[in-house]
Amino acid sequence: MRDVCVIGLGLIGGSVLRAAVTSGRKSWGAAAVSGPVPGSDADTASADGYDASADVADALRRAALTDAVVVLAVPLTAVRPVLALVEEHAPGCLLTDVTSVKAPVRDAVREVAPSVTFVGGHPMAGTAESGWPAATEGLFDGAAWVTTVEEDTDLMAWKEVAALALDFGARVVPLDSETHDETAARISHLPHLMAAVLAAVGAAGGPVAAALAAGSFTDGTRVAGTRPELVRAMTEGNREALLPVLDEALGALGAARGSLASTGGLASTVQTGHEAVRRIAEQRLAPRTTLRVRLAAPDARHALRAVGERGGRITAVEGDAVVAEVP
């Protein structure tokens, strides 16, 4: 097992460091300067007994010495300067990331850190909390963890990143970056914007709205409590994919408005939404068949992406193949 070097010790990076240590890998981390108090995540991680510092360059030099997997766990806005440090101090390393947007990170790596072997990653896990104190070693247990498969992806490197995510208890979902970004816009970035809008409209109702708010409002606005910089980084960073999804939502909400104003009916909006949650629940519970994908096969990249696109997941690495469960 390779060593693990984590750059960024917030909620996600901190959870990666904790999970990597628990998995038995020699692991260390460095806090990037993007947190609310520079260095504070490194101090608290050290106080909790982890090998952590605020010296990113030093952490990367150690990674280069032991050929460690480097996990980039900083917000999208901090990716480029950290990539420059990776290229300087750990050229040629195996690099993965946990950023919520994949195409922009891939493009930044190609530009700023062309020497590294990169496999994009995104664990679909999080809470409204931020920073090392919120990190837990079990954060990824049962969570989907996207690992990108592009035409130029080194599948032996991909396998190592998949094995790391599997070690953390995650279900590995292979996708190309664009499919990930469109899907993330639908199931994460749009929900964050809708929650922000809902919170603003609710608060405009004054203290009585605060007093009456119950389940539907609390559920619908929960993620609006996330640190604004993180929400901005993920939504603004996924602009290309988010714009058409935002237009779908505006179209659907505008249609509801038009229907309510004209006929007074909301049957289509309500029924469509109800069937959608039912269909999603069914898809998540659908029976699955097991198949193997040989990574040396000529169509391996296509086969891996097909697993993810069909709602499937990788459950194990076995030699030069992976085991997949597909609905």
- Binding residues among 27-86 for its own copies as defined by CB under 8 A: none
- For residue 275, the minimal CB distance to its own copies (Å) is 8
Give the single-character DSSP code of 143. Answer: -
Question: Which residue in the set 64, 134, 157, 266 belongs to the binding site for its own copies (CB under 8 A)?
Answer: 266
Largest CA distance in the chain: 70
What are the tokens at 49?
């007994």
178 contributes a contact to its own copies by CB under 8 A:
no
What are the tokens at 185?
């816009």
Q: For residues 151 and 175, what is the distance between their CA atoms, to the nearest angstrom?
A: 11
Question: Which residue in the set 39, 210, 290, 292 belongs to the binding site for its own copies (CB under 8 A)?
Answer: 210
> Hey, which residues between 273 and 292 contact its own copies (CB under 8 A)?
273-280, 283-284
Which of 29/123 has CB closer to its own copies? 123
Question: Which residue in the set 173, 295, 303, 324 belongs to the binding site for its own copies (CB under 8 A)?
Answer: 173
Q: For residues 11 and 8, what is the distance between their CA atoms, to the nearest angstrom?
A: 9
Per-residue contact string for residues 110-139; x = within reach of its own copies by CB under 8 A: --------------xxxx------------
19 contributes a contact to its own copies by CB under 8 A:
no
Q: In terms of Cα–Cα distance, which of 187, 111, 158 is closest to 307?
A: 158
| Owner of token pair 């949650």 | 277
217 contributes a contact to its own copies by CB under 8 A:
yes
Q: For residues 105 and 91, what is the distance between their CA atoms, to the nearest angstrom?
A: 17
209 contributes a contact to its own copies by CB under 8 A:
yes
Question: Which residue in the set 85, 116, 184, 300 belongs to the binding site for its own copies (CB under 8 A)?
Answer: 184
Q: For residues 40 and 42, what is the distance between their CA atoms, to the nearest angstrom?
A: 5
Which of 1/270 has CB closer to its own copies? 270
257 contributes a contact to its own copies by CB under 8 A:
yes
- For residue 201, the minimal CB distance to its own copies (Å) is 5
Question: Which residue in the set 33, 65, 201, 291 belongs to the binding site for its own copies (CB under 8 A)?
Answer: 201
Neighbours of 294 (CB within 10 A): 14
Give the single-character DSSP code of 208. Answer: H
Q: For residues 1 and 23, what is the distance between their CA atoms, to the nearest angstrom?
A: 10
312 contributes a contact to its own copies by CB under 8 A:
yes
Bridge partners (DSSP) of residue 97 are 72
Question: Which residue in the set 63, 163, 245, 314 belongs to the binding site for its own copies (CB under 8 A)?
Answer: 245
| Owner of token pair 């090392």 | 132
Window of 45-53, 59-67, 111-119, 188-196 that interacts with its own copies by CB under 8 A: 188-196
Q: For residues 90 and 117, what is the distance between their CA atoms, to the nearest angstrom?
A: 11
Q: Which residues contact 321 (CB under 8 A, 6 or more apart)?
A: 292, 293, 294, 295
Which of 2/217 has CB closer to its own copies? 217
1 contributes a contact to its own copies by CB under 8 A:
no
- For residue 44, the minimal CB distance to its own copies (Å) is 23
Question: Which residue in the set 49, 151, 152, 204 belongs to the binding site for its own copies (CB under 8 A)?
Answer: 204
Question: Which residue in the set 53, 117, 130, 179 belongs to the binding site for its own copies (CB under 8 A)?
Answer: 179
Q: For residues 131 and 64, what is the distance between their CA atoms, to the nearest angstrom?
A: 26
